[in-house]
Chain A
Amino acid sequence: MNGWLLFAFGFWVAAWALNEALVRIRTRNLAARKTINFIVPLLFGVTLLVIWEGVVKGFEIPSILLPAPSAIWARLTSSVPTLWADFQQTFMKSVIIGYIMGCGLGFVAALFIDRSPFLKKGLLPIGNFVSALPVVGVAPIMVMWFGFDWPSKVAVVVIMTFFPMLVNTVEGLASSSSMQRDLMRTYASGWGQTLTKLRLPAAMPFIFNALKINSTLALIGAIVAEFFGTPIVGMGFRISTEVGRSNADMVWAEIAVAAVAGSVFYGLVALTERAVTFWHPSVRGGQT
């Protein structure tokens, strides 16, 4: 039984030593450097999984408390249809629709607010304040208003994503300097032209910042809202019921799906950002 522990420990030491050696390599070769930058974190992740597996097997931790990664994987592959149905209910319906509606509304509201300095002064502090609030708390109210199915989750997601988008867009629209705006004025461009040619492109880094924050918030909102009541499908529903039935491996499988979905969603937004804000120093510098 302690063979597992020894193996995990040995693997950890070996991986650490290898990583230490890898980061010390200084090479001019760009491809080699990229490979190293890819392998090092990958090795760290694999080490984490091996230690997890080793500790669970070595100490014989009951799978109710903490299942081994291999058990989670087995569960994941054997219950694909359930996971897929949950994924469709939570991600395709609640998250995507809510995300698009919330971000869209926030953006449009920001455009309106931007026209009035008075509104800007009044709404921005309130928007900032609301962004710091535990907005998931509205979930029970939304479930009461819009019923158990996905519309109530969409409503929660919309409320959660609206304010970060609003605040960031307003901030971004103000980020072009007055010099640049004066230049647009000397070109005799109207409000619309200034907006599309100068201020929106300048606001893009801010807008994408909000889009990235919201991609995580949307998933959290949809899952937590399902704790308050759902039809018998959905990731949050599955997590809360399987916790009650002590099927820890199913819960972890669901979390793994949520993690992958969240990361892919975030990654897509980040890739779009790189394509849209190619001129921004943080992108040109080759960093994320």
Chain B
Amino acid sequence: MKQPSFLNDRILPILTVLAALIAIWYLCVVWLNAPFVRDQAARAGTEIVFTDLVKQTMNEERPVLPAPHQIVTELWKTTVTMPITSKRSLVYHAWVTISATLSGFVIGAALGMLLAIGIVHNRAMDKSMMPWVIASQTIPILAVAPMIIVVLNAVGISGLLPKALISAYLSFFPVVVGMVKGLRSPDNLLLDLMRTYHASPSQLFWKLRWPASLPFLFTSLKVAVAIALVGAIVGELPTGAVAGLGARLLSGSYYGQTIQIWAALFMAAVVAALLVSLVGVAHRMVLKRMGEKA
């Protein structure tokens, strides 16, 4: 009981819950898709036995709820068997979204850090801007996304940059709030110690405030990267479904291609997991370099 086993404590419960979820999913597939199959059978004038019913609900062309194996097949077909450059390859669309997400994330995080440094060092900036930074988080910024895209298109800026700007805007606020908290986290004792060392403001910043803020920074970076992805996906909606995961969602919903929507959704989930865990790895590496036990 001293060393909790990784298998028993982590993997097993998660796998059980996942298995239960998939089982429930299959039940829902039968339940939701059955009316259509019954309808088909009634039109053809045939009685349908239960086993056939189940089999057919699993393999509909445009199901109300596609079965997991259908989604996996679609994912496999659009990622592995397609050439990456093809417009029908999900890897290509995911890459479009990821590039917008990452460039927006970098811009937003850099701006956020700069603003946070300004806020910590200038009382007027702190007093006048912090309430607005917090208030702006309560505003549904995503609603502005389509307009920013259209406006920038009108000015002649199209492609990656408008989406990146939305992602930047969204990832900006968590970074500011987390960073300000982090830069303020050294207590008076530590600040006084630096003062007794006669540290200059820049030394105070680089040797105390900056390292102290890193754990806070990484926590907000994880939030920021997840929300940047949402921004990029929503940013792809109004451009008329050209490329990207958001475009796949929209074109799927136009043409009733449920399997395509779910495949795009799963791809988005994979991308989100990938991005968040990348930031997590960076977090752990930095903490290790700083000599902390992660």
Contact = CB atoms under 8 A, between A and B. Distances in A.
Interface string A149-192: 00000000000000000000000000000000000000000000
Interface residues of B, number: 59
Contacts of B265: 137-138, 141
B125 to A, nearest CB: 9
Interface in A229-276: 229, 235-236, 239-240, 243, 248, 251, 254-255, 258-259, 262-263, 265-267
A132 B272 contact: yes
Interface stretch (B183-191, B212-220, B254-262, B281-289): B254-262
Contacts of A65: 151, 154-155
Nearest to B223: A132
A239 B151 CA distance: 13
B17 A122 contact: yes
B269 A133 contact: yes
A262 B138 contact: yes
B128 A44 contact: yes
A129 B238 contact: no
Contacts of B135: 263
B226 A220 contact: no
Interface in B232-263: 233-234, 237-238, 245, 249-250, 252-253, 256, 258, 261-262
A120 to B, nearest CB: 8
Contacts of B141: 220
B146 interface: yes
B128 A134 contact: no
Interface in B79-136: 123-124, 126-132, 135
Interface string A202-243: 000000000000011001100110011100000110011001
Contacts of B140: 216, 219-220, 223, 258-259, 262
Given A41-B131, A137-B233, A263-B138, A132 B276 contact: yes
Given A19-B127, A125-B14, A137-B264, A144 B256 contact: yes
A3 interface: no
B129 A137 contact: no
Contact of B124 (A19, A121, A262): A19
Interface of B is mostly: helix
Nearest to A43: B128
A41 B128 contact: yes
B138 A133 contact: no
B14 A134 contact: no
Contacts of B226: 132-134
Interface string B1-41: 00000000110111111100100000000000000000000
A23 interface: yes
Nearest to A261: B140
A211 B9 CA distance: 30
Interface residues of A, number: 62
Interface string A71-96: 00000000000000000000000000
A44 B151 contact: no
B151 to A, nearest CB: 5
B193 interface: no
A141 B258 contact: yes
A20 B124 contact: yes
Given A121-B14, A141-B258, A239 B147 contact: yes
A66 B268 contact: no
A134 B127 contact: no
Interface of A: 16, 19-20, 22-24, 36-37, 40-41, 43-45, 64-66, 118-123, 125-126, 129, 132-134, 136-141, 143-145, 215-216, 219-220, 223-224, 227-229, 235-236, 239-240, 243, 248, 251, 254-255, 258-259, 262-263, 265-267
9 shortest interchain CB distances as A-B pairs:
A122-B13, A140-B253, A44-B128, A122-B17, A121-B13, A266-B138, A41-B131, A259-B139, A132-B226
7 contacts: A65-B151, A66-B151, A118-B16, A126-B17, A134-B268, A136-B230, A262-B139
Given A143-B253, A239-B147, 15 more contacts: A22-B124, A24-B123, A121-B9, A125-B10, A133-B269, A140-B250, A140-B261, A144-B253, A145-B64, A216-B140, A227-B237, A239-B146, A248-B147, A254-B143, A263-B139
